[in-house]
Every structure is written in structure tokens, then in C-alpha cells.
């Protein structure tokens, strides 16, 4: 079972609820990268699906609409199946105008409303600062829509101090949700997560 990276492509950009409705019927099953701005959602797309596919940036707020990608998985018999990956804009980022922020927040709320039955939600957090205010907003969505969601703690390469790593291990241990700790940028510890979501997707 593996992702055929050469077959990953950018499909479209969704900026309005009408475009979302239109896309719904075309979608088989998908994974959604969600979480605060700058936690590494677009870097995750590049690490798992194909380098250079999504635009990343040091400046938070890079992904402004919902970016839609298609990726292909070959199962054990070599049969190929296509899935969708959605890269959401970061929730509630402060450095954009109030109006733009409102548009994003509505877009994300609409996204959950439309796609919650068809997606595995990967909630990315920065391992250095997990469970911040906006992460709670995502939790509200997961519970409201009863959406399948896993927690992904990214940037573990930045946990350099032993005390930080120990604190983080405790957070992971006490988590009640399926959780993974990775570094998307340094491509660290990706395999276990990749195997898990491939298996999950092939069952859908
Ligand atoms: N050290 C480290 N840096 C990372 C990691 N993942 C992403 N980054 C960096 O974090 C910054 C933000 O990454 P993006 O992938 O653009 O973040 P995003 O969540 O898509 O951000 P928005 O589009 O603004 O919501 C970039 O400078 C990345 O290189 C990681 O695992 N380790
Ligand atoms: Mg992004």
C-alpha cells in the first residue's frame, strides 16, 4: 500500500459556499488539513503527497482559500484509488483584515457543514504550543458534526530541550484522540501516520 506521489495534482481552489456545493458530488473521500495558521498544513501536503504541490510560507496566512488536491493510493493488489486532500486556511489569523478573517471563518464553518461525512480531519497543532484558543474552535466543529478527527502534533524537531520533550510526551499519553507526532518539514516519523491514514482511507 502506498501513495503514488507522481499522480498527485492540484485540482481547484474553493472560495465560496457555491463552489463547495458544486465540488461535493465530485468528491469520493478525502483528508482535510486543518488547524491554526502556520502549523504546517501545506508543508504536510508536500511531505505526504508530493513536494512542491502546496504553497508554504514563513508568514502566517499563506493559504487563503480551500485548496483541493487529488492523490492516488495503490492497495496491496496494485489497484489504484483516488482520494481528495483539502488544505484549509488557518483559523482566525490575526494579521489579516477583520473582513478577510470573517470570510475565512465562514468558509471553514461551511466546509465542515458540507464535507463532514466524507472526510478524515487531521487537526494539526504546533508541538511546541498545542491546544491554543483556536484549537478549541476546531474541537467544537468536530463534536458538532461528529467528524472523524485525529490530532497531529507537527514540528517535533523543534522540541530540543529534554524538559520540552518530557512535557510533550505527557500530553501525548493523556490524549484520548488518535494522535501522531511528526516533523513534516524534516520528514521525521511520517511512516506510522502514512500507514494509518492509508489503511483508514482504503476502508471507506
Ligand atoms: N521546523 C519545522 N518547521 C516547519 C515544519 N512544518 C512546517 N514548518 C514551517 O512552518 C512554516 C509554515 O508552514 P506552512 O505549511 O505554510 O503552514 P500552514 O499551516 O499551511 O499555514 P497557513 O497557510 O498560513 O495556514 C513554514 O516556514 C514551514 O517551513 C516542521 O515540521 N518543522
Ligand atoms: Mg497553508
Q: Is 56 in the pocket of ligand 1 (CB under 6 A)?
A: yes
Can you list the alpha helix ranges (DSSP code H) found in 25-161? Answer: 41-48, 98-115, 133-145
Ligand 2: centre distance to CA 18 (Å): 22
State the closest ligand 1 atom to the C-alpha of 158, by its place in the atom list counted from 1.
1
- CA–CA gap between residue 182 and residue 117 (Å, rounded): 26
The per-residue DSSP string of 130-180 comes to -S-HHHHHHHHHHHHHT-EEEEEEE-GGG--SHHHHHHHHHHHHH--S-EE
Give residue 41's pLDDT. 95
Report pLDDT digits (tens) over 46-77. Answer: 999 999 999 888 877 777 789 999 999 999 99
Q: How far is the CA of 22 from the centre of ligand 1 (A)?
A: 30
Residues measured by CB to lie within 5 Å of ligand 2, the ion:
41-42, 62-63
| pLDDT at position 93 over 70 | no
The CB density around residue 81, as the number of other CB atoms within 10 Å, is 14
Under DSSP, the state recorded for 78 is S
For a mutational test of ligand 1's pocket, the pick from 180, 185, 187, 189, i.e. the residue with the most ligand atoms closer than 8 A to its C-beta, is 185
Q: What is the pLDDT of residue 180?
A: 95
Number of domains observed in the structure of the chain? 1
pLDDT of residue 118: 93
CA of 64 to the centre of ligand 1 (A): 14
Range of the domain at 159: 2-202
What pLDDT is stored for residue 6 in this prediction?
97
**What pLDDT shows up at residue 179?**
95
Strand duo 9-14 + 66-74: pairing: antiparallel
Cell matching residue 166:
518530557
Residue 117 pLDDT greater than 60, yes or no: yes
- Indicate which ligand has the atom closest to the C-alpha of 35: 1
Q: Provide the pLDDT for residue 92.
A: 60
Atom of ligand 1 nearest to the CA of 188: 31
Instruction: Tell me the CATH number at 105.
Output: 3.40.50.300
Taking residues 16-33, what's their average pLDDT? 88
- Please give the average per-residue pLDDT across 70-86, as a whole number: 96
If you compute the radius of gyration of the chain from its CA atoms, what whole number of angstroms results?
A: 16
Residue 137 — very low, low, confident or very high, per pLDDT cuts 50/70/90? confident
Taking CB atoms within 8 Å and a gap of at least 24, the contacts of 185-192 are 185/40, 185/43, 185/47, 185/155, 185/157, 186/157, 187/47, 188/156, 188/157, 189/156, 190/47, 190/48
Residue 149 has pLDDT above 60, yes or no: yes
- Assigned C-alpha cell, 191: 511512516
Whole-model pTM: value is 0.94
Amino acid at each position: 500500500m502506498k501513495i503514488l506521489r507522481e499522480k498527485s495534482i492540484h485540482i481547484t481552489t474553493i472560495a465560496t459556499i457555491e463552489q463547495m456545493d458544486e465540488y461535493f458530488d465530485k468528491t469520493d473521500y478525502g483528508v482535510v488539513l486543518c488547524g491554526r495558521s502556520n502549523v504546517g498544513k501545506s508543508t504536510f501536503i508536500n511531505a505526504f503527497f508530493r513536494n512542491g504541490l502546496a504553497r508554504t510560507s514563513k508568514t502566517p496566512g499563506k493559504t487563503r482559500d480551500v485548496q483541493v488536491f487529488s492523490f492516488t493510493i495503490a492497495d496491496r493488489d496494485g489497484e489504484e484509488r483516488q482520494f481528495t486532500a483539502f488544505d484549509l486556511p488557518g483559523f482566525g489569523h490575526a494579521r489579516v483584515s477583520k473582513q478577510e478573517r470573517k470570510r475565512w471563518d465562514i468558509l471553514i464553518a461551511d466546509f465542515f457543514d458540507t464535507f463532514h461525512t466524507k472526510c478524515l480531519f487531521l487537526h494539526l497543532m504546533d508541538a511546541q504550543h498545542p491546544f491554543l484558543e483556536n484549537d478549541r474552535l476546531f474541537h467544537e466543529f468536530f463534536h458538532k458534526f461528529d467528524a472523524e478527527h485525529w490530532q497531529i502534533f507537527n514540528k517535533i524537531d523543534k522540541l530540543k530541550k529534554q524538559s520540552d520533550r518530557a512535557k510533550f510526551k505527557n500530553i501525548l499519553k493523556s490524549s484520548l484522540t488518535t494522535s501522531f507526532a511528526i516533523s513534516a518539514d524534516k520528514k521525521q516519523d511520517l511512516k506510522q501516520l502514512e500507514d494509518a491514514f492509508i489503511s483508514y482511507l482504503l476502508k471507506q
